[in-house]
Structure 1
């Protein structure tokens, strides 16, 4: 009786006879119990050496923990998506009520964004989250308003960039990629009192 993969039911090809039987195979597999089983979980993943599946250009590939996948030309604000794979870059028919939605950070390309690496996220109260992490090599604790995030979440795998907001000391413009790989801008504060104001 055959037990080969994808053979028709009742196949008698002889593959499963003797020592190659399914029962003996299952017993031998148990000897490798130290090997971790494959899980059905998705981790955040970034490939800085990806190629566009359409045009072949060098791009950045990002997969979020919730499964969203995006190709970027640049892996920092303003998060320019690669046009070959960006469905939002396809033109829509013009109507009388059409407007142009300009991503605000595209106006500030010359200001310096720095990556912020989140170590932990703590709930301070019903209004604030406290992020512990590093801006470059320096530890930095910042506060973010929960309502600015909406239904989005922040974890230690969230890709975040900060830029100092010059008019007010202790304030930052924050740009992050959401779980679905979409850019989101909000404010972050070095001091809890600033975040509450």
Structure 2
């Protein structure tokens, strides 16, 4: 994940190589284009875009920008442009930034990641991890649970999913 400065807003770009073209990025300082509230804007590697009120499980989308919302002509809102400071110290789920994926054997996949300002290694059952299609560009949030991590991510169809990995 790379920090990118854009008009005084910090964005986090996820690229799968060291080129300047980013396949996915997260803007934690975005504003809702409908109501103006502070939201997280995420563009995934397949080109999909989504606004979230908060990050991590259950990955609830911002209501103004979902297809389920009422027509915008029925919305009345005052644009506040307020920014919230996200403090993950008390949150169960924290950013899980995949830095490297390796395949040590036929049974496991080993992922090196940054979690809660620490570099960690987590092993995942190979079949489950391949089914999850976890890659360096996958934006994840994780919760530590005993000797394991529950990694929550958005799959390729934009649905929230969870995979369990074990501490190495």
TM-score if structure 2 supplies the norm length?
A: 0.64
Name the CA distance, whole Å, in 1 between partners of 2:136 and 2:162. Answer: 17
Q: How many residue pairs end up in the alignment?
A: 130
- Corresponding residue of 2:52: 72
For residues 117-147 of structure 1, what are the alpha-carbon distances to aligned partners after superposition, in whole Å with 9 as ceiling and x for unaligned?
A: 2110112334421101222232211012243
Instruction: Name the CA shift for 1:147/1:175 in 2 (closer, same or farther; >3 Å).
Output: same
Question: Where in structure 2 are the equivalents of 1:100-179 lying within 5 Å?
Answer: 112-149=92-129, 151-165=131-145, 169-179=146-156
Q: What is the rounded CA distance, in whole Å, between the counterparts of 1:111 and 1:50 in structure 2? A: 21
Cα distance, 1:112–1:131 mapped onto 2, change above 3 Å:
same
Q: Unaligned stretches of 5+ in structure 1?
A: 1-40, 91-109, 192-197
Aligned with residue 33 of structure 2, among 40, 47, 53: 53
In our comparison, the structure showing a higher alpha carbon Rg is 1
Higher share in helix: 1
Return closer, same or farther for 1:128/1:113 CA change in 2, 3 Å cut-off. same
**How much is the aligned-residue C-alpha RMSD, in angstroms?**
2.7
Q: Displacement, 1:57?
A: 2.2
Describe the superposition over 1:25-68 as per-residue Cα deviations: whole angstroms up to 9, x where unpaired.
Answer: xxxxxxxxxxxxxxxx6620112222222333221110011111
TM-score with structure 1 setting the length? 0.56
**Structure with more of its chain in strand, by fraction:** 2
Greater relative contact order, per chain length (Cα 8 Å cut-off, separation 6+): 2
**Equivalent residues of 1:171, 1:190 under 8 A apart:** yes
